[in-house]
């Protein structure tokens, strides 16, 4: 990786007006980042394509999200034995935002195409995914895998 790319992708460098997969290519969510400055905040317009990826996940940040169109279902991961103990939550366009805490392990399933505007707080250095075999995967910036547990 070149030195300029390392600087550009670091959490210390603010990035403005770019497009990326939000949550990796498997997620089906495209993020149109208005600004992403991981040490302070991010503002992202999200396009959820129909469906979801298999993995449950937490986040590196807390987020406040307003759904602008469409609808999504949120499934909460509880433990290795009972994936969904809570009723699924549905989100539709509303003036009331969805609050997502960084430690919540969930996945979101979009019904059709859904658009949302998300305001995100500072990033921690790691977050987690849980695959279909209940394996915990710890990730860091650039979706690089690191060793560790929840």
Contact 75, 57 (CB under 8 A): no
pTM value is: 0.87
Q: What is the pLDDT of residues 41-55, one digit of tens each?
A: 999 999 999 988 788
In a domain, 3, yes or no: no
The Cα 93–Cα 85 span in angstroms is 25
Q: What is the pLDDT of residues 119-138, one digit of tens each?
A: 999 999 999 999 888 899 99
Choice among 13-17, 58-62, 146-150 with the minimum mean pLDDT: 146-150
Average pLDDT, the chain: 88
5 pLDDT higher than 80: no
In a domain, 117, yes or no: yes
Half-sphere exposure of 30 (CA within 13 A, CB side): 9
The per-residue pLDDT for 150 is 46
In a domain, 109, yes or no: yes
The per-residue pLDDT for 148 is 53
CATH at residue 30: 2.60.120.10
In a domain, 89, yes or no: yes
The per-residue pLDDT for 85 is 47
| DSSP labels, the chain | --HHHHHHHSTTS-EEEEEEETT-GGG-EEEEEEEEETTTEEEEEEEEPSB--S-EE--SS-EEEEEEEEEEEEEE---SS-S--SPPEEE-S-SSPEEE-TT--EEEEEEEEEEEEEEE-PPPS-EEEE-TT--EEEEEGGGEEE----
In a domain, 150, yes or no: no
15 pLDDT higher than 80: yes
Question: 90: closest CA among 62, 109, 103, 77?
Answer: 109
- For residue 90, the enclosing domain spans 20-53+61-124
6 pLDDT higher than 50: yes
Is the dihedral angle over the CA atoms 111, 113, 115, 118 positive or is it negative?
positive
Q: How many domains is the chain partitioned into structurally?
A: 1
Q: What is the pLDDT of residues 70-98, one digit of tens each?
A: 999 999 887 655 454 456 789 999 999 99
């Amino acid at each position: 990786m070149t030195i300029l790319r390392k600087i550009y992708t670091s959490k210390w460098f603010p990035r403005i007006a770019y497009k990326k997969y939000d949550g990796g290519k498997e997620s089906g969510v495209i993020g149109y980042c208005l600004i992403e400055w991981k040490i302070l905040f991010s503002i992202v317009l999200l396009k959820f394509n129909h469906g979801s990826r298999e993995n449950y996940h937490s986040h590196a940040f807390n987020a406040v999200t307003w759904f602008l169109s469409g609808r999504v279902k949120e499934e909460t991961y509880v433990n290795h034995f009972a994936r969904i103990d809570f009723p699924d939550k549905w989100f539709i366009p509303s003036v009331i935002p969805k609050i997502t805490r960084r430690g919540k392990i969930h996945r979101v399933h979009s019904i059709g195409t859904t658009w949302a505007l998300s305001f995100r707080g500072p990033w921690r250095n790691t977050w987690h995914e849980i695959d279909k075999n209940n394996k915990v995967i710890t990730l860091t910036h650039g979706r690089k895998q690191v060793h560790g547990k929840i």
